[in-house]
């Protein structure tokens, strides 16, 4: 899997950084980082930059050194920085001490590190330079109060490299403290970090920009974690030829709809139709309706009547955990057709070792769409452990189940059995409502039916699903009150636009 937007774990970034440092004079990378922070700060301040009041929180390490040098540059550009040293008297690394000495010599104004001073100040911009990616423990002492005050500010907050307190690899607060800066903007260095895009990352990082600090491209190396983007899957979305017919675009066979849960199956079926499947069959465990009056193209059946010899199966929406549900799942798993496994299909597998073994050994492609609790059940752990390292959890689950996995949530993680993984950047809190997972399952099934591999389908489905929600919110539909049933038409628009823009070869058209 290749992408223009790689995500680097902390250990990988350290390798790149050390290789670059060995070829540069001391302090070069810090000077470049400081210049980048100053430039970004001036961009955010715009016309207000001359005379602007800028709060700078500088920690004891190199992250603080970056902030100190940036504050000096801002002062030279006409801004009025006020620098809080945290702690005031700290033992600093060599480069950070050099930055402090230069700042003091330049007459940079230092102010007491006081939460009330933060709250009561009139700031045009705040710069978080407390801690970088090396933080491994939770924040304690004076830091929680300082960060609470910083997070309460109305002005833009620019995080230097990463919001202080956030784990760069996982997107969770370091050390389980629950405390991290909530930035409106993050300027991250060398390479992008997964923790800025999953877990709490999207809430705390704000708008992320990357500055490679002038490190040559040859210093970077291939990684197996990327940010999901259309070039990863767009080549599989091809314009339809005029001579195509409904049989050209695949059959989706859905199974679920136990008593009281038929709506889940309807949502998945409608999504599959809007995503381009040629025919969609909905197999109900409960008595099926004669037809769907909103989408009469859906062909409703009894689950036991479903034929699993061809097409793509989607099983789980409204499935329940009855004996009949388990039997339907067993039939799907023993078939060779590609299958999307969602909701109660995953819960059944989690409690039945035989079903799990059949899944692991089956010949057909499988795509799992768990939310964190379902993933925890499958992994024999708890939700906190899954959320504590979403990337590792998704990779482990994909390997153990021999399936592509979409671990849903903020910054959904897509992982394949061979360890390739991506974090999805689209979507918003509007998707935190019942039924949106059923829509995702139907969408993924439709893409599989149209010839995408399970990894392509997972990447495309997750990106399109989130994009549909983003566009609806931009139109004023949500985030509060958006319903799952509103997603299908927006999904159709997003897919057709992708096909037009990329014309079937993965390259964007101007």
65 is annotated as contributing to ligand binding:
yes
409 is annotated as contributing to ligand binding:
yes
466 is annotated as contributing to ligand binding:
no
Distance CA 64, CA 100 (A): 9
Q: Residue 133: CB partners within 8 Å, gap ≥ 6?
A: 10, 13, 161, 162, 168, 193
408 is annotated as contributing to ligand binding:
yes
454 is annotated as contributing to ligand binding:
no
Distance CA 273, CA 434 (A): 20
Q: In a 3-state reduction of DSSP, which class is residue 312?
A: strand
Distance CA 458, CA 444 (A): 6
DSSP letter, residue 192:
B
Distances in Å between the alpha carbon of 156 and those of 44, 297, 334, 377, 444? Answer: 8, 50, 55, 40, 38
The two beta strands, 413-415 and 404-407, are antiparallel
CA 251 to chain centre: 30
438 is annotated as contributing to ligand binding:
yes
The two beta strands, 251-256 and 279-284, are parallel
190 is annotated as contributing to ligand binding:
no
134 is annotated as contributing to ligand binding:
yes
* Burial class, 373, CB count within 10 angstroms (exposed 0-12 / middle 13-18 / buried 19+): middle
The two beta strands, 279-284 and 80-85, are unpaired
Query: Is the four-CA dihedral 306, 330, 336, 297 of positive or negative sign?
Result: positive
410 is annotated as contributing to ligand binding:
yes
Q: Which two tokens stand for residue 296?
A: 């009469």
Q: In a 3-state reduction of DSSP, which class is residue 224?
A: coil
402 is annotated as contributing to ligand binding:
no
Q: Residue 66: CB partners within 8 Å, gap ≥ 6?
A: 30, 33, 34, 37, 99, 129, 160, 161
310 is annotated as contributing to ligand binding:
no
64 is annotated as contributing to ligand binding:
yes
Q: In a 3-state reduction of DSSP, which class is residue 3?
A: coil
217 is annotated as contributing to ligand binding:
no
243 is annotated as contributing to ligand binding:
no
427 is annotated as contributing to ligand binding:
no
62 is annotated as contributing to ligand binding:
yes
505 is annotated as contributing to ligand binding:
no
128 is annotated as contributing to ligand binding:
yes
51 is annotated as contributing to ligand binding:
no
138 is annotated as contributing to ligand binding:
yes
The annotation places the binding site for (6S)-NADPHX at 62-66, 132-138, 143, 161, 264, 318, 371, 438
The annotation places the binding site for AMP at 408-412, 437
The annotation places the binding site at 62-66, 128, 132-138, 143, 161, 164, 264, 318, 371, 408-412, 437-438
The annotation places the binding site for K(+) at 63, 128, 164
């Amino acid at each position: 899997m290749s992408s223009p937007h790689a995500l680097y774990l902390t250990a990988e970034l350290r390798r790149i950084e050390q290789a670059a440092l060995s070829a540069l004079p001391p302090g070069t990378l810090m000077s470049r980082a400081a210049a980048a922070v100053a430039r970004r700060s001036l961009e955010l301040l715009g016309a207000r930059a001359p005379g602007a009041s800028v709060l700078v929180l500088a920690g004891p390490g190199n992250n603080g050194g970056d902030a100190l040098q940036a504050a000096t540059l801002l002062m030279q550009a006409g801004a009025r920085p006020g620098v809080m040293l945290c702690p005031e008297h700290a033992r600093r690394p060599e480069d950070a001490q050099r930055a402090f000495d230069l700042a003091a010599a330049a007459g940079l104004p230092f102010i007491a590190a006081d939460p009330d001073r933060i709250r009561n100040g009139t700031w045009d911009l705040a710069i978080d330079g407390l801690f970088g990616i090396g933080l491994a423990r939770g924040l304690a002492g004076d830091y929680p109060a300082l960060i609470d005050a910083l997070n309460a500010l109305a002005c833009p907050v620019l995080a230097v490299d990463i919001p202080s307190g956030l784990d760069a690899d996982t997107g969770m607060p370091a050390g389980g403290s629950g405390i991290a800066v909530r930035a409106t903007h993050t300027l991250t260095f060398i390479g992008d970090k997964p923790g800025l895009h999953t877990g709490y990352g999207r809430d705390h990082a704000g708008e992320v920009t990357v500055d490679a600090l002038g490190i040559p491209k040859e210093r970077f190396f291939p990684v197996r974690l990327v940010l999901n983007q259309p070039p990863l899957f767009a080549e599989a979305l091809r314009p339809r030829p005029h001579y195509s017919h409904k049989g050209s675009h695949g059959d989706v066979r859905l199974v679920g709809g136990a008593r009281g849960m038929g709506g889940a199956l309807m949502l998945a079926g409608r999504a599959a139709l809007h995503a381009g499947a040629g025919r969609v069959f909905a197999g109900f465990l409960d008595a099926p309706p004669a037809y769907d009056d909103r989408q009469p193209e859906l062909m409703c059946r009894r689950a036991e009547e479903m034929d699993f010899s061809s097409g793509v199966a989607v099983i789980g929406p409204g499935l329940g955990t009855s004996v009949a549900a388990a039997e339907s799942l067993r039939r799907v798993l023993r078939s060779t057709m590609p299958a999307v496994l969602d909701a109660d299909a995953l819960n059944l597998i989690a409690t039945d070792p035989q079903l799990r073994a059949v899944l692991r050994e089956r010949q057909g492609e499988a795509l799992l769409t768990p939310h964190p609790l379902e993933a925890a059940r499958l992994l024999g752990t708890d939700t906190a452990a899954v959320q504590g390292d979403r990337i590792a959890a998704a990779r482990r689950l994909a390997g153990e189940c021999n399936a592509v996995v979409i671990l849903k949530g903020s910054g959904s993680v897509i992982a394949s059995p061979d360890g390739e993984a991506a974090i999805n950047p689209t979507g918003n809190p509007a998707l935190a409502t019942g039924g949106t997972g059923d829509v995702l399952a139907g969408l993924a099934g439709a893409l599989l039916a149209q010839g995408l591999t399970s990894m392509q389908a997972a990447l495309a489905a997750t990106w399109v699903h989130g994009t549909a929600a983003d566009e609806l919110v931009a139109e004023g539909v949500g985030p509060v009150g958006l319903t799952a049933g509103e997603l299908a038409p927006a999904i159709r628009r997003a897919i057709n636009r992708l096909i037009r823009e990329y014309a079937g070869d993965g390259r964007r058209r101007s």
